Structures are given as structure tokens and as C-alpha cells.
Amino acid sequence: MKNILLVCILFNVLACQNTERSWVVDEIAIIPAPQQITVGKGYFEIPQKIRIQAPAVFDNESHLLGSYLKNTAAVEYLKGSRIDAPNIIFEIDNTIIKEGYILAVLANKILIKANSSSGAFYAVQSLIQLLPPKLDQEPPTWLGAIKIPVHTIQDAPAFPYRGMHLDVSRHFFPKEFIKKYIAHLASLKMNTFHWHLTDDQGWRIEIKQYPELTSKGAYREETLIGHYNESPQKFDGKRYGGFYTQEEVKEIVAFAKQHHVSVIPEIELPGHAQAAIHGYPELGCSGEQVPVATKWGVFENIYCPKPETFTFLKNVLDEVMPLFPSQYIHIGGDEAPKTAWKKCAHCQALIKEKALGDEHGLQSYFIKEIEMHINKKGKKIIGWDEILEGGLAPNATVMSWRGTQGAVAAAKQGHDVILTPTSHAYFDYYQATYDDEPTAIGGYLPLKKVYGFNPIPKALQGTDASKHVLGAQGNIWTEYMKTPDQVMYMAFPRILAMSEVVWTGATSDLDKEYSSFLSRLEPYLERLDAKGINYANHLFDLEGTVVKKEGQVFYELSTPTAGKQIKYSVNNALEQTYIKPFIVSTDATIKGQVYKNKNPVGRSFSDTIKYHKAIKATVAVNVAPHPAYGAGGVKALINGVWGSNTRFGDKEWLGFWGDDLEITITFPEPTEISKISTRFYNANGQWLYAPKEIEIQTDYGILQKVNLPGTDQTILDVNLGVGVTTSFIKISIPSYGIIPDGLQGAGNKAWTFIDEIVIQ
């Protein structure tokens, strides 16, 4: 991260001083990393009686700190002048930017300076991370002494928008969990909670003028079991749902305000409206009754742009807006199939009357109509990047999720943007490749990739348009998260990495700064344990990588955190200590384990290498894999490792969105081949389509054209019969094309996912 004077600040203290009777901080390990830390000499020891002095504007923050400290000492809040000197002093400093702060730990006191209550709040969050994790337990159990090293922190955020999202429509979560979720993101200096309240699978907010939105739209008759791609699909047969009353919403928003978190509600339109149309069928183009959706995906039942629909939505928003002090209302705007509009006589007449051109122009008209109403109420809209289609509403902020292109286009037009691309910010993606990971929607987003995210796209860096990048957020869509524990598992620790991206700033040296982050994250896990957070611990996982150099194939083992020992075996031989990459020259099964202090930690590891004729070759592709599905790089196509049999989200499967591919494999010398094998992932519900045919070329021209059947995992086995000697193989793979109407993702480009290409 930029301008950080922090990697690992050690003090000369005896090892293992932190006992039940004494807590001595020997490392300033704060997440997100402060912009600057200056270390002094000595310690401040928290006394048995703590006197806190703060101006009235910082009462909330001083009492928050006191609530932590009262479990280890008596706390007194000083008002006015006192003879007794305070131990902790809050001061207003108008020279500090709004959310910035100075935290000075001196030998005889702690001084917190800020220009705003939010800055004071963030100073308290930093200080809390220096206190014993046991103070976070319920009930707290720390009763010993606490010594904090003398130091000064000068800190401020890199971005004004630092957010986390939560979808409560697919699965509903109780009020108390929502408050805990807000408290957790606030503790990491994130300041925005994006609350996804309405969708096809459930309407979750009480609207008094339209009671059937919740009496009907908040409940579905059953829910999909297992993954969407499983065939046949199965359902649990149980009615499911819930909603938040307006009083509960007020309580949550008030709680968020105490934690300096702005709550942005999302009321989806014109798509993702099936739950609303279930309650009020006249809102759809057909006027027919439709059920609340019982499975995931995108549905064709969207709002019809009739006068009565706009009246309905404006009335809904007029009830929603007073509940949320935020300057923003999120209106969605994504994944709105136009099938119903194409068939609707009213819609087609409206397109002609308003000279809108087509259905995309009609969507733009729809969004602008809603934006004008929201603007009149003194608020602004945020929409997903589809709101660019057909022309952007005048004052809209764009939330870019399908990549960064939407953000670039909107920023260049002078619109504010928030980055939340699938490639780095979708926490519903798998975070590890183990087969026993909880079922997720797909994709692969490990912790390091989140940490390496830069919210300012390359196309905007160094330009005036970059000032329109407000920040970024992590998204949690809950199709496969039924419980709060599952949400926490998918959020943590990736939320910690995102917090550092948006507070400290993008990394300039990923490997070095990620190592620093992990050195702070490992002890932070004790704090997560104390809070009872069900986090995903992959800090002790092993990762195997095939490395090619000097005409040989090596296998490299690594684990994220420093100071660990790795032991491994090959083809069930004796276990040995890993020192450096080792040569692989035949089919191999590699097993490994990480050790900490001579004890095994993390999960056992296993990988299988298929040593085939292309493993020493070079490979080139005419287009790069999509950033969200290219973790292994193009070299993954011939590294001898197959991808997962059950999901496309790992570093071996490569995804391409709508591209015609040409994959060229060049051998070190002319090589005789007799068989080519690979496989394509075919999951139509998630827009993945195997190609209809491919073409194979060698030195002798076009060798074969192969038609493919399109099963779940379409296997390509091309037996050449008599061996062919060639210096290269070129595989041409046309994209499936545009997804047809009536299918999930209709009108969008289909994805192509390809696995290892084995040459025999």
C-alpha cells in the first residue's frame, strides 16, 4: 500500500509475555494498515482506574472505548476541568481531514485528535486492535495488565466510499445479525453498508401503502437444494421468507449511524421484480400472476413501464427514502431481460412515441424517470453498470460489476463510480480449491487477489477522470448462504483485505505488502475467534505450482505465511522436508502438509500431474482469459493439472467471455502425436456454453473439425489414429455466440471455459 511506514515493528521484550496476567504489545499489527506510524521508546500501561476526557461531539466514541476498557479497569468520564489528569484525551483538530485522525500513545497518556466524530471513531478502532482479544469475548475475560508501546499514528482513508454489500433477498437474516455485520465492517474502517432488499426471491422491507409486498412477496413456497447446475434440480418443499418492519429498519440505521456507517438500500428495478409482481400482478406487462422465484438466476418478469408502475415505484421510494439518511438510493438496473418488453404493445408504442430507439433506450427512459423523482427528494441514485445501456441518467453514480469498463466509461462522462468487479470483489465466489469448501456460486477469488485490487482502473490512472472513483466494495450474494455463519465464512478474511485496499490504498508491491498483511492477519485470527466469527482459515494451506525452466518441469510448493515448514511426498515415497522446487519427469501424485512449531496445521494437500507431450511446450492464446477466471494464466492449459470435476472456479479452468479463441501450442522440437484431449464446462444456467465445433491444425494444415455434444462437461477426445509429427498444434474454438431468448442470460455473450489440453 502507498506511503506505509509499517511492515513489522518489533520491540525488545521477552518472548511469551502475554499471559493471563500481563498483555504487552510487541508489534503494531493493525488492519487496515495506517498510513504512517512513528515509534517512540517505552510503554503506556493502562492504569486500574482510567479517566477519559472528551468534548461532547466525541461522546459516542469515548464511551465506545470506555466500554472496552471497563472490562479491565474502572472507567471515569471527565467533564470540564478536573484536578485529576486524564489518561485518555480526545481533542478536536480542524487541520485533520474529515475521516482522518492522529493517535498518540505517550508514556503517561493516550491522545486522540480528529476533525470529526468519524475520525475519532477510527482512532478508537486502531487502539482497540492493540488491546487483548479477550476483551472482544462475550463476556470479556481479560483481567490482567496491558502495556502499549509509545508510538504515533497519522492516518486517513485513501477513498471516501468503503463498502460491503449483503443480499437478504435470496436468504433472509435477522435484525441482530445485520447489526453485527455492520459493527464488523465498521471495526475495519469501512463506512458503507449496501443493503440489497428486493429481488425475485423475496421482498424484504415493509411498505405500508402496499402490504402485499411483504404478506405475499416476502415468502416463497420452496427453495432450490444444491447447486443450480445440478440436474435434475431439487427443492426442499418448505415455505421460506421474512422481512424487516420499518421500525426494525430505523433501529438498524440508528445502530449504523453510531458506527459511522451509511446504509444504502437497494430497491431493484426494472428487473429482479418477480416478488413484487407476485404481490401486484398489474406491475408486469402480462398482468398475470407469477410466483416468488424458488431458484436462482435472472427472470423475464420485469416491471412494465406503465403510468401505474411508475406511481407504484415512486410511492414505494417515498416510504423508503425517509428511513435512510444516506444521500444515495440504489436502484439496481441490472439483468433486466427485454423479452416481455419486446412482446408488449404498450412498451413498443412508448419506444416509438418517445423515440427511444429500442428496449435499451426504454430502460434508460425508465431509469431516468425514477432518477428525476429521487433527485427531487434530495437524493442521488446508484445503479449497476447496465444503466449505461441506452444512455446514462444525468446524476447517476455507476457501480461497476461486470469488469471495469463501465466505471471507465461513466467516469469519462463525468459520473462518479464505485468499483465492485466480479474479478476482485465478489465474495460469493470460492476462496479455495478444496472439494469440501462450502457450495458457492462458482468462480475463484482467493485472498491475495482481493488484496491486489486497485479500485482505479488502468485506463483512468493519471487522468482527471480518476477523481470520479469514489472507492470500492465487497459483494455478498447469498444464493448459497443460508445462515449467518456461512455469510461470515465467505466474508472473512477477504473483507480484511478489501478494507486495506480502500483505506490504505492499492498496493505498489503486491508480494512484499501482502506478506506484511499476512503477518498482521495471522495474529488477528485470535481476535476473530474471540468475536465468535466463523472465518475461512486458508493461511496454512499449501499451493502447488508447475514451473518450467531450462527445458525441465519443476513442482513448487508454497504456503502464505512465513515461518512454516512444509513436508511432502511423491507417489507415496517417504515424506521429506521441502527446500526448493523439485523435478517432475513422469506422472506424479504429490502430497504435502504444513507444520507450525512441529505441529501439523491446515489441511493436507494432494495434487496429480499428468506428464504429457505438451507439458514442455509453449502456449499462446489470441485473447487473454477474463480477469475473473484466469488465475492460472494461459500456462494452465498445458501444465499437466486438471481443473475441478465439480466446479469451474479454480486456477486451472480458464474463462473467456464471447471470444473466438485460437490456442497455439508450440513444441520444443517436432513431436509425434496421436491424441488430443481437453474438456469444456457446459453450465447453461450460468451462461457457460461448450463450443459447437472446433478445428485442429498442425504443420500439415487443417487436421480435423470436431462437433461437440454440449454435456455438463463436454469431453474432447480426438484420436488421430496414425501418429502425426508436427511442430505445433493450433486449436480454433469459435464462441457459442449470443445466448438465445428464454434462457438464463438471454441476449448476453456466452462464456467458454476450457481445461487442460493433454497431448499424447
pLDDT band at 15 (very low <50, low <70, confident <90, very high): very low
Q: CATH assignment of 543-609? A: 2.60.40
**Residues above pLDDT 90, as percent of the chain:** 80
Q: Once rounded to an integer, what is the mean pLDDT over residues 505-532? A: 95
Query: Is 199 among the catalytic positions?
Result: yes
Q: Indicate the residue type of 547.
A: V
Class of domain 161-506: alpha beta
pLDDT band at 27 (very low <50, low <70, confident <90, very high): confident
For 204, the grid coordinates are 424484504
Preceding omega of 32 cis (within 30 degrees of 0): yes
Q: Indicate the residue type of 307.
A: P
- Decide: pTM greater than 0.85: yes
pLDDT band at 10 (very low <50, low <70, confident <90, very high): very low
Q: Once rounded to an integer, what is the mean pLDDT over residues 141-158? A: 89
Residue from 151, 165, 260, 272 carrying the catalytic annotation:
272
Q: What CA–CA distance (Å, rounded) separates 581 from 435?
A: 25
Lowest-confidence pick of 228-232, 358-362, 727-731, 733-737: 228-232
Sheet holding 565-570, edge to edge: 576-577, 565-570, 588-596, 599-609
The DSSP-derived string for 453-485 is: --SS-GGGTTSGGGGGEEEEEEB---TT--SHH
Over residues 441-467, the pLDDT tens digits come to 988 999 999 999 999 999 999 999 999
Q: What CA–CA distance (Å, rounded) separates 436 from 439?
A: 8
pLDDT band at 704 (very low <50, low <70, confident <90, very high): low
Query: Is 272 among the catalytic positions?
Result: yes
Question: What residue segments make up the domains of the chain, in order of their start?
Answer: 22-155, 161-506, 543-609, 618-759
62 membership: H or E segment, kind and range? helix 59-69
For 622, the grid coordinates are 489470441
Q: What is the pLDDT of residue 604?
A: 94
Residue 125 burial (10 A CB sphere; 0-12, 13-18, 19+): buried
Over residues 32-80, the pLDDT tens digits come to 999 999 999 999 999 989 999 999 999 999 999 999 898 888 889 887 6
22-155, CATH topology level: Chitobiase; domain 2 (3.30.379)
CB 339 within 8 A of CB 301: no
Over residues 227-267, the pLDDT tens digits come to 998 889 999 999 999 999 999 999 999 999 999 999 999 99
Lowest-confidence pick of 87-91, 142-146, 606-610, 627-631: 142-146
Query: Is 335 among the catalytic positions?
Result: yes
pLDDT band at 2 (very low <50, low <70, confident <90, very high): very low
Bridge-based pairing of strands 417-419 and 397-400 is parallel
Lowest-confidence pick of 268-277, 458-467, 472-481, 722-731: 722-731
Query: Of how many residues is the chain composed?
Result: 760
Inter-helix orientation angle 117-128/175-187, to 10°: 90
pLDDT band at 208 (very low <50, low <70, confident <90, very high): very high
Q: Once rounded to an integer, what is the mean pLDDT over residues 72-95? A: 85
Q: Once rounded to an integer, what is the mean pLDDT over residues 621-649? A: 90
Instruction: Indicate whether 117 pLDDT > 70.
Output: yes
Instruction: Indicate whether 278 pLDDT > 70.
Output: yes
CB 32 within 8 A of CB 495: no
Instruction: Indicate whether 16 pLDDT > 60.
Output: no
Instruction: Indicate whether 517 pLDDT > 90.
Output: yes
Q: What is the pLDDT of residue 712?
A: 56
CA 408 to chain centre: 20
Q: Computed from CA positions of residues 423, 426, 429, 433, in that sequence, does the dihedral angle turn out positive or negative? A: positive
Residue from 206, 335, 416, 650 carrying the catalytic annotation:
335
Residue from 199, 200, 266, 479 carrying the catalytic annotation:
199
Among candidate residues 423, 527, 503, 409, the one with its CA nearest the CA of residue 459: 409
pLDDT band at 709 (very low <50, low <70, confident <90, very high): low
Over residues 317-341, the pLDDT tens digits come to 999 999 999 999 999 999 999 999 9
**Residues above pLDDT 70, as percent of the chain:** 94
Instruction: Indicate whether 20 pLDDT > 80.
Output: no
Q: Indicate the residue type of 153.
A: I
The CATH superfamily holding the domain 618-759 is Galactose-binding domain-like (2.60.120.260)
